[in-house]
C-alpha cells in the first residue's frame, strides 16, 4: 500500500508529438495530433483572426507593420494605428495559445507580430494551414483505427441483439 505522501504516476499514450518549428531545435511545439477537435478549433481560429486582421485595413501601415504616417505630422493617427497593431497581435496570440496551450505562440512565432504577412496571408494563418496539412494524416489514421474498433463492437452488439430477439420469438 502506498504511503500518503508518495506521488503516483499514471502513464498512457496521449498522441503527443513534438514539432520542430522551421528546423530550429530550440522551438518545439508539443501537440496531441489525435485530438479530434483540433482542426475545428484551428478553422474557427483562422476565421476569427482574419476578422481581427481586417481591422488593420482602416490604417495605413508599412510592410513591417508600423504606421505609415509621420508621427510628428499626425501623432493621434500614428498612435491609433500602432495601438491597433499591438491589439490585433495580442488577440491573435491569445487565440493561438487557446488552440494549443499557454505560451505556444512564443515558441512558434517568437517576438514577431502575428498580423505580419507573407504572400498576402498573416504568419498566423500560414502556420495554421501548414499545421493542418501536417496533422491530417495522423487524424485520418486514428479515425480509421477507431472506426475499425467501433465496427467490431457494433457487430458483436448486433449478434447479441439477434440472439436475444431470437429467444423472444
> Are β-strands 117-118 and 121-122 bridged in parallel, bridged antiparallel, or unpaired?
antiparallel
Domain boundaries of the chain, sorted by first residue: 16-123, 140-169
Q: What is the sign of the dihedral through the CA atoms of 105, 108, 110 and 113? A: negative
- Neighbouring C-beta atoms of residue 95, cutoff 10 Å: 19
What residues contact residue 19 under an 8 Å CB cut-off, 6+ apart? 28, 29, 30, 31, 131, 134
Per-residue pLDDT tens, the chain, 169 aa: give them: 556 789 999 998 888 999 999 999 999 999 988 887 888 888 888 888 888 878 877 777 776 677 787 777 778 888 888 888 888 899 999 999 999 999 999 999 999 988 888 888 889 889 988 998 988 888 788 777 777 767 776 777 777 777 777 766 5
Under a CB-based contact definition with an 8 Å cutoff, are residues 112 and 33 in contact?
no
Q: Is the pTM of this model over 0.85?
A: no
Amino acid at each position: 500500500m502506498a504511503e500518503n505522501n508518495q506521488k503516483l504516476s499514471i502513464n498512457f499514450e496521449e498522441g503527443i508529438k513534438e514539432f520542430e518549428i522551421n528546423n530550429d531545435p530550440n522551438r518545439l511545439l508539443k501537440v496531441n495530433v489525435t485530438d479530434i477537435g483540433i482542426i475545428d478549433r484551428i478553422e474557427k481560429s483562422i476565421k476569427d483572426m482574419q476578422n481581427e486582421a481586417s481591422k488593420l485595413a482602416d490604417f495605413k501601415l508599412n510592410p513591417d507593420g508600423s504606421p505609415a504616417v509621420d508621427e510628428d505630422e499626425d501623432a493621434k493617427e500614428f498612435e491609433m494605428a500602432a495601438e491597433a497593431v499591438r491589439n490585433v497581435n495580442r488577440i491573435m496570440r491569445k487565440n493561438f495559445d487557446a488552440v494549443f496551450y499557454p505560451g505556444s505562440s512564443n515558441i512558434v512565432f517568437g517576438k514577431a507580430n502575428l498580423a505580419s504577412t507573407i504572400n498576402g496571408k498573416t504568419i498566423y494563418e500560414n502556420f495554421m494551414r501548414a499545421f493542418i496539412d501536417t496533422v491530417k494524416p495522423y487524424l485520418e489514421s486514428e479515425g480509421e483505427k477507431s472506426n475499425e474498433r467501433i465496427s467490431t463492437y457494433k457487430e458483436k452488439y448486433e449478434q447479441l441483439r439477434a440472439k436475444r430477439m431470437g429467444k423472444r420469438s
